[in-house]
Amino acid sequence: MRVRRLTHPLARARLSLAVGVLAAALDSGRAVAAERPSQSTPPHVALLGAPAESTAELTAIATALALFTVVGSAEEAEVAVVWRGPGSAGSAVDAAFAGFLERARPLVVLGADPAAWPGGASEVAALLGAAPGGSFAQGAAPTVLSDYAHPITTGVTEPLAPPPLRLWSGLTADTFVLQEATAGEETAPLAWIRQDGTRRLVHLAALNPATLREASGLRLVTQAVWWASGRPVPGATPHLQRTVLPDAHPGSFALTFPEGVGVCLDPVRGGINYLWAGEFADLRPRWLTKQGAPARLDGPVWYRESPEPAWRTAAGGPAAPWRFRGHTARAGTTEFHYEIDGRKVTERPTALPEGRGLTRHFTVGPGKPTLWLRLAPQAGVRIEVTGARREAEHAGFTEESGGAFTVQLHRADGEAIR
């Protein structure tokens, strides 16, 4: 990824013009903005673009950004939103953008146009992780629009794909497609994220002056900023998919939380195989490969259990008789139903704030056998058991009348085991 260090004597004056356009729209934007989520402080955001050519578009974007703390300098910004591109080499916006890139902070790009970048297509491809091409499907309208249920696309009922669309290809391994369009045998990504170890990046490729005036377009911009800043997207809910996951039996569950916790629950062995730092399981490999590759995870695994059965008849004893009895999803929560040694058990996983871990809520029906859950102590993870007896690597529920207990898995800072 190339970092440009450019200066220009008119940089400060021209950047002020862009900020002036943005500020003029703030009052009207706040009138239609949704409430800020109480669990997050809004990030500081800078809007970069070519104001002389795109005043109306910058005003529309500013309406969406009214949710956030808008700053007049890219140096102060936690997240930069770039409309089309930073402009010609040495311009005010280009100089500000070069400095922002150097600090490796989150970035949201809207409708990238290679002509609006000093380095053209090669610079765009290096930054966004995809090469810009010509017109998708010779300018025809898409026949199929796909959305892959990422928090960024929450509440957007249909992907925005006004023709003509640009064809993007050669996506790098660290990109994840959120929306795409299909026409005949051609497929084009409409929105994707990139996490290359230095920053969170979002590209909403299909946004143009028309879609920026639609509620769905503005919503995508807003939610992209929340996600890029590492905060939960307001209104996003957990997402459940049953699929083929790495290191799990076919038909395992991928349960992803907008707080940034991903869960692989294996109904064959009766436990959580692993947790990862992310909120997205990419199922496209299942559909795009002949043999159906496992889904991709959007972050590192930080907790992992051994493949042995999770439930035991005694601490350190043999596996308990086990049956998976299905699952229910309602009001943003998922419950998994088991029968263990003749007792009914329900598990409801919930994410800890800021993606710091997971709480497993168990409800146990009446019965005589003590149920023992095998724990998996490991570096970088703190395990807390409430409502059950803990013996070394096991938690035992002894109440014959039934009741509830919880197991919390806390992720330590900087720890990952993959």
13 vs 399 pLDDT, higher one: 399
Residue 97 has pLDDT above 60, yes or no: yes
**Mean of the per-residue pLDDT values of the chain:** 85
Instruction: Identify the pLDDT of residue 25.
Output: 37
Instruction: Identify the pLDDT of residue 194.
Output: 95
206 vs 12 pLDDT, higher one: 206
CA distance 167 to 184: 14
What CATH superfamily classification does 11-228 receive? Class I glutamine amidotransferase (GATase) domain (3.40.50.880)
Instruction: Identify the pLDDT of residue 164.
Output: 87
- 50 pLDDT band, cuts 50/70/90, is low
88-102, 263-277, 295-309: segment of lowest average pLDDT:
88-102
* Beta strand ranges found along 156-235 (DSSP E): 166-169, 175-183, 186-195, 200-204
211 vs 5 pLDDT, higher one: 211
Residue 410 has pLDDT above 60, yes or no: yes
User: Which residue from 40, 18, 42 is spatially nearest to 30, judged by alpha carbons?
Assistant: 42
* Beta strand ranges found along 43-138 (DSSP E): 44-48, 69-70, 79-83, 107-110, 131-135
Q: What is the pLDDT of residues 128-146, one digit of tens each?
A: 999 999 999 888 889 999 9
**pLDDT over 70 percentage in the chain:** 87
**Domain limits, the chain:** 11-228, 239-411
User: In a 3-state reduction of DSSP, which class is residue 102?
Assistant: helix
pTM of the model: 0.84
Q: What is the pLDDT of residues 351-407, one digit of tens each?
A: 999 889 999 999 999 999 999 999 999 999 999 999 999 998 999 999 999 999 999
Instruction: Identify the pLDDT of residue 44.
Output: 92
CA distance 281 to 267: 18
